Amino acid sequence: MPTLPQPAARGTSDGPPLSKTAYVLDRLRREIAEGTVHPGQSLRQVEVAKRYGVSPTPVREAFRLLEAEGTLAYEAHRGATVKDMSVPEVRDLYLLRSEIEGLATSLAVERMNDAALERIHTAHENLNSALESEDKSQLSLLNRALHFAIYDSGSSLVAVQAASLWSYIPPRITIWADPKNARSLAGDHARIIDAIERRDPYDARRCMAEHILHAAKLREAYTAQHNS
């Protein structure tokens, strides 16, 4: 049984990484990406502040930043809610992800050390172990752990941008729940890992970008199937 990883951290999980606003912003993005906070859910400043152990001020600022980037919507008498995404918006998101995460992967190949490569191998093995044991409950988080084991090995700045994009992904449906999709995506991962091991940043970038666009097609088909 693989060890369930913690989400890729942009700072510490028990206190502000740079500021209280950054801490709240980081936690909200991760909770949205993980599905703990879901589209349509109302978020109250006082409740979030209490849960995170901060005052309402950094929560209000984090809400403002998330609203500006399109993650939250604010309505009178309802407060802030997590926005759902239209089909065209999801397509655009994955196009942007393919560029950012392809870049993050190429930088990882160019800059990673042996310890970083070992972390990537461990994350890959954990995901494959869960696939073999058909433990669907962990696949989505283990997939995220693998991706950010790669991205965090390169540029922290680019990894932060990738993490921000992941917070937009509609969390209600995970394509990893479908065994056929999971096997297909795992095949993509194998090609990415091979390029990383060969220290080929160009091929690694291409493989990652293709993987993200492949995931986009699978998500669109899976969502259409389950909404029909």
* CATH assignment at residue 181: 1.20.120.530
Are both 94 and 190 inside the same structural domain? yes
Asked, for residue 171, whether it belongs to a domain, the answer is: yes
Using alpha carbons, select from 43, 109, 88, 83 the residue that is nearest to residue 168.
83
Average pLDDT by stretches of 10, the chain with 228 residues:
37 54 88 76 91 94 88 78 82 96 98 97 97 86 95 96 83 79 96 98 98 94 67
Radius of gyration of the chain (CA): 18
Task: State the residue range of the domain holding 60.
Answer: 20-82
Number of structural domains the chain divides into: 2
Asked, for residue 124, whether it belongs to a domain, the answer is: yes
Half-sphere exposure of residue 78, counting CA atoms within 13 Å on the CB side?
10
Are both 78 and 92 inside the same structural domain? no
Are both 109 and 166 inside the same structural domain? yes
Are both 103 and 68 inside the same structural domain? no
Give the tokens for residue 185: 């995506």
Are both 140 and 175 inside the same structural domain? yes
Are both 102 and 213 inside the same structural domain? yes
Are both 24 and 118 inside the same structural domain? no
Ordered DSSP codes for 89-150: HHHHHHHHHHHHHHHHHHHHHHH--HHHHHHHHHHHHHHHHHHHTT-HHHHHHHHHHHHHHH
Are both 67 and 104 inside the same structural domain? no
Q: Which one of 62, 82, 102 terminates a domain? A: 82
Asked, for residue 94, whether it belongs to a domain, the answer is: yes
What residue type is 127 in one-letter code? L
User: Is-contact 39 83, C-beta < 8 A?
Assistant: yes
List all residues 6 or more positions away from 123 whose beta carbon is below 8 Å from its beta carbon.
5, 142, 145, 146, 149
Asked, for residue 3, whether it belongs to a domain, the answer is: no
Are both 132 and 116 inside the same structural domain? yes
User: Is-contact 5 145, C-beta < 8 A?
Assistant: yes
Are both 65 and 102 inside the same structural domain? no
Are both 179 and 122 inside the same structural domain? yes
Give the tokens for residue 174: 């995970």
| Cα–Cα distance for residue pair 7/142, rounded to 1 Å | 9
Are both 114 and 147 inside the same structural domain? yes
- The pTM of this model reads 0.71
Residue 108: the pLDDT is 98
Q: Are strands 79-82 and 42-43 parallel, antiparallel or unpaired?
A: antiparallel
Asked, for residue 15, whether it belongs to a domain, the answer is: no
